[in-house]
Structure 1
Amino acid sequence: MKINDFKLECYFGRYEFTAPYLLTQSDCESMTTKELLSMEPGAEEEYLNQWLGYTETWGDPELRRLIATLYNDMTADDVLVFHGAQEAIFGYMNVLLNEGDHIIAMYPNYQSAFEVANSIPNCEFSKWYIKDDGAKWTVDFDELEALIRPNTKVIAVCSPNNPTGYTFTNAEIKQLCEICRKHDIYLFSDEVYKGLELDGNKREWMADNYYKCASLGVMSKAYGLAGLRVGWLVSKDHETLENVVKFKHYMSICDSAPSEFLSKVALKHSDELLERSIKIIRNNLKLADEFFDRYSNIFEKKPITCGPVAYHKLLIDMPVKDFCQLAVDKKGVLLLPSDIYGMDDQYFRMGYGRMGVSESLAKFEEFLIEEKFV
């Protein structure tokens, strides 16, 4: 197959490990292996005795059981583990989509959610836009239904959304699932930030609401354990999972045994790790809100109700791509402009899940002053 470059990863490949002030990262603060193992009595010794052979293609049985407990109505049999979320998306979309199919994807979105469709001959792709109403991000379900065609196979959503931070309410989750049920459409739901609710309203997993939904989770984002490279799909649709696991045979085959062990330790302390991430996000949001309030003539801030990312608007008469390039060139402050998402507008992504946001905002402020934006 031929597939377009992954714009975000190409961009990060240039700057993620060289720019000193990262203000756009989408994951939460990580930790050392020692810190993680210290959370579970006896885990360090057990880890050192971990057998380094092949693991099961479906994933470690105990890991699958622990993942299933995150959901309301799932068992280990409903869980398929992957080498990160990216592999899960790539495998699912390749299995579900064929020539002549049509996919609708929430937009903006993680590129791989729709890019596989673009690589399949005569596979059509429509965008369901998240819209800026001037104060916040919104979606229109009437517009979604208007996009549905007789050959629509999959609707792909990302909630909490990356990059906007838009998050479905539980009522909207049920509405979306009912639309898919009515039209007999598969639902692919990227929920990698699930558990990071900031508004006090815990969201339901979409796979708990619809048989033909596959919910995507990962250790990377909400848990801050990106280096483990462990993700999963959860669904009651076992036929689809069986087909996807056969595609996995041509990718990773199985996951890393040490990564699966560490993921089990993490999920035994899921609430503790999520609360750790939420605390960091809340603290960073306070700092960011103060920053944007000082510079309301330059930026239009957008609120978030869940997750660590927000998509703010640049108000000055300068292309946001050039503005972000200048920030990283002059001060090493990394932001993510909207052209990375194939959008010709004035938005940029900021991330609040990591430590060091205070220092990065201070450097960003220096940039604004020195370049005479204020």
Structure 2
Amino acid sequence: MKMKTFGVEQWMDEYETAATYNLGETCVSPLSLHALLSLTDTDEQTFTQKMLTTRLTYGNIVGAPELRAGITQLYQNLTPENVVTTHGAIGANSLVLTTLVDPDDEVVVVTPTYQQLQSIPETIGATVRLLALKPENDYLPDIAQLKTLVNDKTKLIVLNNPDNPSGSLMPQEHLQRIIEVAKSVDAYVLCDEVYRHLTQTDTYSPSVIDLYDKGISTSSMSKVFSLAGLRLGWVATHDEAFMKTILSHRDYNTISCGVLDEMVAEVALNHKDTLLKRNRDIVRKNLAILNDWVNSQPHISWVKPQAGTTALLHYDFALPSEQFCDQLFKQTGVLLVPGAEFDIEHALRIGYAFESKELQTGLDKLSEFMTGLN
């Protein structure tokens, strides 16, 4: 089975480990186990003793009951039976797409987005219709265009909210309008919500499954909870028939997630408000830093992100984005992701959710680099 090269992941694989200033990072400043236990006032000796004495067999096949109960608290009107754990959100997306999509189906996918959401349906042989997110629309899906892309063969509409790489966030009214289009052709809506809750305000950001019985949410412990090393995600849906099918398919590639990973995730979700406050404070502080920097740059423009941890920076130099980022890295040690990895040219994806000092220093290095391009 041939698949397209996964552009953004290949770029990160090549450059990330050697970066001095990793401005390509998308997770909020990662936590150690010690830091997590301290932040949540969890007795470290008791917890580590529990880990040391836990037998390393298969865990609960569909996910530890306590963990699934914790995940339900991130949504409205959800039960543990509506949730199954996976190997990260990347595993959740793959499982949903390979379970749901057949070669004769049609799938609508927003672009730019995480390439997996587009490339897997293409590899299956489905007809993939791209719904372009444009800066003039604040990178929100154009409902009129969406209506022209769906028909009675449309099995699935795929969204990413908040969007990676643009940082756009669909308000509930916009999401509801998309759902109405999906209902008109009886389509599922898969929404990769891995950055959900990392908002610039404290208002609740609705999930697609809060609003639609054929909605499917995927997410993980990586971005929002700073625990990417757990490699733990989930699929959530109210559609009982689809959940039954996905559990059958899951036996072929997952069986269960790690028992120790689920124990750590349970602690985090039991103290979700504490972690959300920490991480929202980080992204809000750093977005302000990034906003000030963008406003000082004559060659940079953007649509300011509303949520998540990433932004798209557009530049007016003639240099193609891969060449720009490669030269930047070699001269300064600053890692950015070329817009070309998202099929956008003369643009850069930047992450802003790590340590503020590293962000500011990396931006200063980027400014110096661009001065040399004049």
- Normalising by the smaller structure, the TM-score range is over 0.9
| Cα deviation digits, residues 57-100 of structure 1 (max 9, x gap) | 21011100110111111010100111111111111101101121
Residue 306 of structure 1, CA deviation: 1.1
Give the secondary structure class of the aligned counterpart of 1:362. helix
Unpaired runs of 5+ residues, structure 1, are: none
Residue 372 of structure 1, CA deviation: 4.3
| Cα deviation digits, residues 91-139 of structure 1 (max 9, x gap) | 1101101121010001111111121111123x100110101118x4333
Alignment of 1:1-374 (within 5 A): 1-38=1-38, 39-42=40-43, 44-50=45-51, 51=54, 52-121=56-125, 123-133=126-136, 136-295=138-297, 297-343=298-344, 345-355=345-355, 356-369=358-371, 371-373=372-374
Aligned length: 368
For 1:118, give the aligned amino acid: E
| Cα deviation digits, residues 284-304 of structure 1 (max 9, x gap) | 122212222221x21113211
Residue 44 of structure 1, CA deviation: 4.3
User: Cα distance 1:156–1:372, how it changes in 2: closer, same or farther (>3 A)?
Assistant: closer
For 2:307, give the aligned amino acid: C
For 2:336, give the aligned amino acid: L
2:76, 2:127 → 1: CA distance?
A: 34
Residue 168 of structure 1, CA deviation: 0.3
User: Cα distance 1:372–1:146, how it changes in 2: closer, same or farther (>3 A)?
Assistant: closer
Is the Cα contact below 8 Å between 1:47 and 1:261 reproduced in 2?
Answer: no
Unpaired runs of 5+ residues, structure 2, are: none
Give the secondary structure class of the aligned counterpart of 1:133. helix
TM-score normalized with structure 2 length: 0.94
User: Cα distance 1:62–1:10, how it changes in 2: closer, same or farther (>3 A)?
Assistant: same
Is the Cα contact below 8 Å between 1:36 and 1:266 reproduced in 2?
Answer: yes
1:352, 1:76 → 2: CA distance?
A: 33
1:89, 1:44 → 2: CA distance?
A: 36
Give the secondary structure class of the aligned counterpart of 1:105. strand
| Cα deviation digits, residues 314-362 of structure 1 (max 9, x gap) | 112222222111111111111111111133x222111111112122112
2:162, 2:214 → 1: CA distance?
A: 20
1:158, 1:225 → 2: CA distance?
A: 20
TM-score normalized with structure 1 length: 0.94
For 1:28, give the aligned amino acid: V
2:250, 2:44 → 1: CA distance?
A: 29
Give the secondary structure class of the aligned counterpart of 1:138. coil
Is the Cα contact below 8 Å between 2:291 and 2:304 reproduced in 1?
Answer: no
C-alpha RMSD of matched pairs (Å): 1.5
Is the Cα contact below 8 Å between 1:47 and 1:258 reproduced in 2?
Answer: no
Residue 43 of structure 1, CA deviation: 5.4
2:47, 2:68 → 1: CA distance?
A: 19
